[in-house]
Amino acid sequence: MSAYQRLVVDAFRLDLAAWQRHGWSEHSFGRRSALKMLWHQAGLRATLLYRVAHWASVCHLPVLPSLLCQVNIAVHAIELPSNVPVGAGLYLPHTVGTVVNAEGIGSNATIQGGVTVGMRTTPAFPLIGDNVILGAGCRVLGGIRLGDNVSVGANSVVITDVPSGTTVVGIPGRAVHRINESARLGPATLVASTPHGPGDSRLGEGAELAASRNIRAD
61-118 pLDDT, tens digit each: 999 999 999 999 999 999 999 999 999 999 999 999 999 999 999 999 999 999 999 9
Per-residue pLDDT of 34-55, as tens digits, reads: 788 888 899 999 999 999 999 9
The 8-class DSSP code of residue 208 comes to H
Residue 163 and residue 132: Cα distance in Å, rounded?
Answer: 11
Cα distance from N-terminal residue to C-terminal residue, the chain: 30
Contact criterion met (CB below 8 Å) for 169 and 158: no
Residue 79 and residue 64: Cα distance in Å, rounded?
Answer: 15
* Residue 21 confidence class, pLDDT cut points 50, 70, 90: confident
CA dihedral 183, 186, 190, 193 (to 10 degrees): 40
Measure CA 32 to chain center: 26
Residue 72 and residue 76: Cα distance in Å, rounded?
Answer: 5
Is the model's pLDDT at 194 over the cut of 80? no
Average pLDDT over residues 164-192: 67
* Residue 179 confidence class, pLDDT cut points 50, 70, 90: low
Q: Looking at residue 212, what is its pLDDT?
A: 45
Q: Which CATH superfamily is domain 3-211 in?
A: Hexapeptide repeat proteins (2.160.10.10)
Q: Looking at residue 207, what is its pLDDT?
A: 46
24 against 149, higher pLDDT: 149
Contact criterion met (CB below 8 Å) for 214 and 103: no
* Residue 151 confidence class, pLDDT cut points 50, 70, 90: very high
> Which has the closest alpha carbon to 187: 163, 162, 167, 207?
167
Total-model pTM: 0.79
Q: List the beta bridge partners of residue 116.
A: 99, 139
* Residue 27 confidence class, pLDDT cut points 50, 70, 90: low
Q: Residues of 102-117 as b/e, b for ≥16 C-beta within 10 angstroms? A: bbbbbbbbbbbbbbbb
Q: Looking at residue 38, what is its pLDDT?
A: 82
Q: Looking at residue 28, what is its pLDDT?
A: 66
| Phi and psi angles of residue 105, each rounded to the nearest 5 degrees, phi first | -130, 135
Mean pLDDT, all residues of the chain: 83
CB within 8 Å of 214: residues ≥ 6 apart: none
CB within 8 Å of 55: residues ≥ 6 apart: 3, 4, 7, 8
The rounded percent of the chain whose pLDDT value lies above 70 is 78
Domain boundaries along the sequence of the chain: 3-211
Measure CA 199 to chain center: 21
* Residue 20 confidence class, pLDDT cut points 50, 70, 90: confident
* Residue 178 confidence class, pLDDT cut points 50, 70, 90: confident
